[in-house]
Amino acid sequence: MNNETISKILRVILSGVFIFSAISKLIAPGLFEITILNQGIIETREVAAYFGRFIIAIELFLGVALLQSNYLKKIIIPATLLTLIVFTVLLFFPLLSGDSSNCGCFGEVIKMSPLEAIIKNIVSIIVGVIVFLLEKRKPNKLYIPTIILLTSFAIVFFVAPIKSYENLTFSKYTNFENEGVVDLTDGDKLVAVFFIDCEHCMETANDIVTLENETSKFSNFYMLFAGEETDSIKYFLNKTNINYPYLRIPIDDFFDLIGSSPPRIYWLQNGDVKEYWDDDFSENLIRYKTH
């Protein structure tokens, strides 16, 4: 096997990593935005949306560009190596802080800790260096990688257009116990708002458990809790046996989300409130299941 054949095989492997990385993030771009926010790289969800899509587009561009021969030695391979090095350096920050949660490198398709992602990147860098050493300089046509770059950005922003989060109240609730990163602005979601020591909330939770035992467990069901500092969410969960991802919210948020009294359940579609219910929970949940 000659050097050119080895280089082509390694380029295909490296290309596959980048293209898979881009596609896995495009499946749920909102989760990648939240990951960027959680890492402290960006401060607002809107900026994270643009930054995230920029990264996805660059990954898609490099993945496709590695499959062609123009400007490989001059631009494509050095840009690939630089991208991998930058990603690796950024991954050291969560690693050193003890964060072992999903880094978002492959979205939610393959969850990787920062350490696992660093190892993956180091292996990719070694592969990239070998390709750079094996690859020969060839006549180059600039318009081909340029077209790939522009097409990559067009595809990413067409498949995952930027949405406005200004009026999406639930976009700020992103890290749930028993689930991790959650994007409440994507798809159908049920969000129950409970007060921890509220008897009516506990009765409603019991009714939900009874209903799921009679039918099936609800998918995409999340709980927001508020209460006094001494109140324990575990007490509520143990007393009602309800088992869904949950998050504790500030008391001010709680009063903004309920009606005259708790609980309230929201039916969200892509972050917008389709319906909310302050009573007749079982009937409304059955209707949700069959919609």
| Per-residue pLDDT tens digits for 226-257 | 987 767 888 899 999 999 999 999 998 999 89
274 falls within a domain: yes
Q: How many domains does the chain divide into?
A: 2
| Per-residue pLDDT tens digits for 34-92 | 888 887 778 888 889 999 999 999 999 999 999 998 999 899 999 999 999 999 998 88
Residues 153 and 199 in one domain: no
Mean pLDDT of 27-37: 88
Between 63 and 181, where is the model more confident?
63
Residues 86 and 125 in one domain: yes
pTM over 0.85: no
Residues 155 and 174 in one domain: no
Residues 130 and 224 in one domain: no
Q: What is the pLDDT of residue 223?
A: 96
Residues 145 and 194 in one domain: no
Residues 149 and 220 in one domain: no
Among residues 159, 177, 204, the one where a domain terminates is 159
Q: What is the pLDDT of residue 249?
A: 93
In b/e form, how buried is each residue of 205-238, taking b as 16+ CB within 10 angstroms? beebbebbeeeeebeebbbbbbbeeeeebeebbe
Residues 153 and 188 in one domain: no
Residues 186 and 146 in one domain: no
164 falls within a domain: no
Among residues 159, 186, 213, the one where a domain terminates is 159
Lowest mean pLDDT among 82-86, 96-100, 157-161, 282-286: 96-100
Residues 27 and 46 in one domain: yes
pLDDT band at 176 (very low <50, low <70, confident <90, very high): very high
Containing domain of residue 109, as a range? 3-159
Residues 187 and 106 in one domain: no
Residues 121 and 195 in one domain: no
247 falls within a domain: yes
pLDDT band at 173 (very low <50, low <70, confident <90, very high): very high
Among residues 140, 159, 178, the one where a domain terminates is 159
Q: What is the pLDDT of residue 89?
A: 92
Residues 148 and 173 in one domain: no
